[in-house]
Structure 1
Amino acid sequence: MRRIFLIGYMGSGKTTLGKAFAKAAGLEFIDLDWYIEERLHKTISKIFAEQGESGFREVERKLLHEAGDFEDVLIACGGGTPCFFDNMDYMNQAGDTVFLDVSPEVLFRRLKIAKTKRPLLAGKSDQELMAFIIGGLEKRLPFYSRARYCLSGERLESRSQIDESVRLLSALLSGDKQIENEIH
């Protein structure tokens, strides 16, 4: 029985690496935001609009615990998931937590492309977007740093980079000490 929780800032590659790793490892893949939308039959934006952030975070916590009870699963968490309630403690107790660490510059490049799909980023200038990323990382790093493992999410742009990241994550989770030189 295996549970893996991928955490990190939006745009860090949790879904990209999560899908590839889950497939290679024979695990079920769950994107927590998608899971919430499926269970509530509403978009995350609509839940935020109706219930506010505090209402959304309550729903997120409940469904994190629900999905976290599944066996042989990899859960790609929302960027804020580890930062509320006892979520980080819960994930560390329930399975392996992996923080995908990505520089603000790489996040900026990725998120600039995806701005229209992310309501929190829509309408931000380049300067505002970079300031938003840096501020968000500063607030969230104390939570992210509590993950059991840390892996660079910088190289997830091509199939070969994704495959290499899957290999590195597999070695990291299996306790391969030699891999530590390669992960950052």
Structure 2
Amino acid sequence: MTLVLIGYMGSGKSTVGRKLSKILNYEFIDFDIYIENNIGMKIHEIFKTKGEVFFRKQERLSLDQVVKRKHAVIALGGGTPCYGDNLKLIKQEKQVVLIYLKSSINNLVDRLFDEKSGRPLISHLESKDELSEFIGKHLFERAPVYEQSDITIKTDGLSVDDVVKSILLQLF
């Protein structure tokens, strides 16, 4: 079994994924770091110097490599399942369980505002209102993709341990 965590940036995919992988004794793959290691640049540098189209092509190539792994927990980037045929690629793998970490706009704004400088898609936003509007628009566009998950966990008000327990209860 391979667990693929999806959701908007700041929803806790990497944090939950690390903890889940330790409990299950699975390999953990932070997909953004995997791409950075393959290309030799940070995500924000890739966006800045090579552009989003280049990034999305590299993302697709990398996804094809990691989604076939067994006994792994993969924390995808927030946009990864939403581009091209990425969702189809993920869902066609029989061993994959797709898990959506669903967070409210307010929760995401609270988590992301102070760390926006390291996130290329939101680094230009100057206020929490702008960030809220941006996230709301993205979630409206991405929700139909995210909602195709096998498991959805609403993360608002839950600790990382609670989210992990909820996932494990639904898996086993």
TM-score band w.r.t. shorter chain: over 0.9
Uncovered stretches (5+) of structure 2, i.e. residues with no partner:
none
Uncovered stretches (5+) of structure 1, i.e. residues with no partner:
175-184
Separation of aligned partners in 2, 1:80 and 1:123:
18
Tell me if the contact between 1:5 and 1:96 (Cα under 8 Å) persists in the aligned partners: yes
How far residue 72 of structure 1 moved from its aligned partner, in angstroms, is 0.7
SS of the residue corresponding to residue 88 of structure 2 reads helix
Give the total of aligned pairs: 169
What RMSD over aligned residues (CA atoms) do the two structures have, in Å? Answer: 1.3
Q: TM-score, normalised by structure 2?
A: 0.93
Separation of aligned partners in 1, 2:162 and 2:53:
38
Identity %: 37
Q: Does 1:11 align with 2:10?
A: yes
Please tell me the residue identity of whatever aligns with 2:86: N
* Match of residue 130 from structure 2: 128
How far residue 5 of structure 1 moved from its aligned partner, in angstroms, is 0.5
Please tell me the residue identity of whatever aligns with 1:17: V
* Match of residue 160 from structure 2: 162
Please tell me the residue identity of whatever aligns with 1:50: T
* Match of residue 179 from structure 1: none
SS of the residue corresponding to residue 114 of structure 1 reads helix
Please tell me the residue identity of whatever aligns with 1:87: N
Tell me if the contact between 2:44 and 2:119 (Cα under 8 Å) persists in the aligned partners: no
Separation of aligned partners in 2, 1:163 and 1:79:
21
SS of the residue corresponding to residue 51 of structure 2 reads helix
Please tell me the residue identity of whatever aligns with 1:26: N
Tell me if the contact between 1:36 and 1:60 (Cα under 8 Å) persists in the aligned partners: yes
Tell me if the contact between 1:155 and 1:165 (Cα under 8 Å) persists in the aligned partners: no
Separation of aligned partners in 2, 1:41 and 1:155:
37
Distance change (3 Å), C-alpha of 1:106 and 1:15: same
Q: TM-score, normalised by structure 1?
A: 0.87
Alignment of 1:65-76 (within 5 A): 65-76=64-75
How far residue 119 of structure 1 moved from its aligned partner, in angstroms, is 2.5
* Match of residue 100 from structure 2: 99
Tell me if the contact between 2:47 and 2:120 (Cα under 8 Å) persists in the aligned partners: no
Please tell me the residue identity of whatever aligns with 2:170: L
